[in-house]
Amino acid sequence: MEPILEVKKLRKSYLSKGKPVEAVKGIDLEIRRGEIFGFLGPNGAGKTTTLRMLSSLLVPDGGEARIAGYDLLRQPEKVRTRIGYVSQTGGSDRMATARENLYLQARLYGMAGKSARERTAAMIMAFDLDEIADRKVVTYSGGQHRRLDVALGMVHKPELLFLDEPTTGLDPQNRSRLWKEVWRLRDEGVTVFLTTHYMDEADMLSDRVAIMDRGEIVAEGTPSGLKKRIEEDTIILGLEKNGAVTEQAKQFLTGLPFVREAVQNRDKLLLMVRDGETRLPQILRLLDQHQIGLKTITLSQPTLDDVFMKETGHALHDAEKDLNR
């Protein structure tokens, strides 16, 4: 099936104090129908610039994009009917109610009064806004406000929804509630392209992820595929006795082909292991065979932070500090 979004060599520079800033340096992207695609990167990476170009709100300096079957540069008005865009700050009128905002949006997309009213009611139900629908937006909590923003982006039934940092500033409870909304949209067949600077969010929420740093895509794949590139897990064994027994355990574990390194600290043994998840049972059997008692065991797998670090040479949140220098 044709991808819903295909981007080649997309780029954009801004002039900042007379100097060009290359915000997006010629990126390629491909998004499949029905997936949740996460765009992970620190502040200033170029995520918003990319999303604004793909939503036809900003003209690229170069490159091409096909979105939902149309050429972004030649048929932007066609593209606009197929996509929804929710900006970082949202697009609601804060002095109006959710119902008024949704109704206006429906009318702007050309729906007649009756169908606009029906669509408004359906969106209020779908996004669980019924209790607050007739209150002014200024009175909403962060989570309610964000749900309305997403609802506004969905009024005209887009095939592809762009969400720019949908959960920034939300507390953990509202964050996971919004994740559920996004999963629900995907289950209804909507393709979702969202940006985030939260590593755990990109990991949990997305089917595929692109990691962006300084205007470039440095890695792309499924969260688990990306983490596999790190290749090493850490296993920490807490043994029953220290001394000679731990030393013995360290000896034979170091000899295993998939153990790269073993470090001992009293009764704790830290192992750097390839494919730790599947090796763990084998390690446990060996300890058993040598009659070495085990008190505790932990397996830590790499995170997308580790992937970011490997690909860019700096930590995700250091990158933000760099920009403020």
Ligand X SMILES: Nc1ncnc2c1ncn2[C@@H]1O[C@H](COP(=O)(O)OP(=O)(O)O)[C@@H](O)[C@H]1O
Decide if 4 contacts 159 (C-beta within 8 A).
yes
From the list 38-46, 117-125, 171-179, 240-248, the region that binds ligand X by CB under 6 A is: 38-46
> Is 150 an interacting residue with respect to ligand X (CB under 6 A)?
no
- Which 15-34 residues touch ligand X, going by CB under 6 A? 16, 21, 23
Closer to ligand X by CB, 16 or 291: give it. 16
Closer to ligand X by CB, 158 or 215: give it. 215
Closer to ligand X by CB, 125 or 323: give it. 323
Q: How far apart are CA 153 and CA 127, in angstroms?
A: 12
Q: How far is the CB of 70 from ligand X (least distance, A)?
A: 23
> Is 49 an interacting residue with respect to ligand X (CB under 6 A)?
yes
Q: Which residues bind Mg ion (CB under 5 A)?
A: 47-48
Q: How far is the CB of 266 from ligand X (least distance, A)?
A: 45
Decide if 317 contacts 42 (C-beta within 8 A).
yes
Q: How far apart are CA 164 and CA 7, in angstroms?
A: 18
Report the candidate in 27, 324, 316, 320 with the shortest Cα–Cα distance to residue 200: 316
> Is 38 an interacting residue with respect to ligand X (CB under 6 A)?
no
Report the candidate in 49, 29, 149, 9 with the shortest Cα–Cα distance to residue 89: 149
Q: How far apart are CA 223 and CA 35, in angstroms?
A: 13
Q: Quote the tokens at residue 55.
A: 């939503």
> Is 45 an interacting residue with respect to ligand X (CB under 6 A)?
yes
Which residue in the set 27, 36, 38, 47 belongs to the binding site for ligand X (CB under 6 A)? 47
Q: How far is the CB of 31 from ligand X (least distance, A)?
A: 18
Site size for ligand X (CB under 6 A): 12
Which residue in the set 9, 14, 180, 251 belongs to the binding site for ligand X (CB under 6 A)? 14
- Give the DSSP H or E segment for 136: none
Which residue in the set 38, 48, 181, 220 belongs to the binding site for ligand X (CB under 6 A)? 48
Sheet holding 268-274, edge to edge: 259-265, 268-274, 232-239, 294-300
Which residue in the set 5, 27, 36, 46 belongs to the binding site for ligand X (CB under 6 A)? 46
> Is 57 an interacting residue with respect to ligand X (CB under 6 A)?
no
Q: How many other CB atoms are found less than 10 A from the CB of residue 217?
A: 21
Q: How far is CA 312 from CA 11, 42, 258, in A?
A: 20, 12, 26
Closer to Mg ion by CB, 48 or 101: give it. 48
| Chain contacts with ligand X (rule: CB under 6 A) | 14, 16, 21, 23, 41, 43-49
